Amino acid sequence: MNIQYQQLRDELVGFTSQDIIQYVLKLFRDRIVIASSLSLEDQVITHMALEYTQKVSQSCRIFVLETGRLHQETLALISQTQEKYKFIYEVLYPDQAQVESLVAKKGNFSFYDSIENRKECCHIRKVLPLQKVLATADAWITGQRQDQSITRNMLDIIEWDDANQKIKINPLANWSNQDVLAYIKKYNIPYNVLHDRGYPSIGCEPCTRAVKSGEDARAGRWWWESADQKECGLHSSE
């Protein structure tokens, strides 16, 4: 395990989310990337990060995995956010030959047939592009929170990403959904209009639905699978 990771855990004890983001951006500079799915949490982190880096004239690397199956509302938010904050996302696409091969062999909706098929699609469209961008970094920042699902309830603010051999920072790990919504409102941060239509967690269009009353935030993601299976490989050691 990385020695710098252990030191960072000790140094960031008691820091606020904003302080954590500023500290790691200053420390790693262009060797840290921010993962954004354009979720509410990621919009909060984007706001915090750009507020700092633009003030100190430092570059800020924020990437989006454009799987080819995102909602139009998500794509519109990319443009809206870039316009508001005057920056450009690093937009990553899957290898087209791999996508075409998968579709030719199993069709456009093979992910509905089994967990294995769904993870294969996620691997091609999300995990492999993630691995490419992480090869250019020593650490990455995510918008994961503990109360998003049962697969994340043990989430730490600073983690060692063993699968990618990187330091992983989750500045909002301890935030509640109410904390996130209040911050979005306070700073007038642009967000995906699908959230107003019952979509608390938004991924690819065929794999996301609105949630029902009483369901958890990620119930609308891969809703045909059991709750303890709902990760795509980006945030696991699969």
Q: Say whether 32 sits in a helix, a strand or coil.
A: strand
Q: Structure tokens of 5?
A: 């990771």
Collect all residues with Cβ–Cβ distance below 8 Å to 75 and sequence separation of at least 6.
66
Instruction: Spell out where 27-184 has E strands.
Output: 32-35, 62-65, 90-92, 139-141, 158-161, 166-169
| Chain CA centroid to CA 5, Å | 20
Candidates 121, 122, 204, 232; catalytic one: 232
Q: Say whether 26 sits in a helix, a strand or coil.
A: helix
Alpha-carbon distances of 40 from 53, 60, 83, 132, 194, rounded to whole Å:
20, 19, 17, 25, 11
| Residue 121 is a catalytic residue | no
| Chain CA centroid to CA 23, Å | 20
Cβ atoms of 200 and 211 within 8 Å: the answer is yes
CA distance 15 to 20: 6
Cβ atoms of 124 and 85 within 8 Å: the answer is no
| Residue that has been written with the tokens 């750009």 in this structure | 50
Catalytic residues: 232
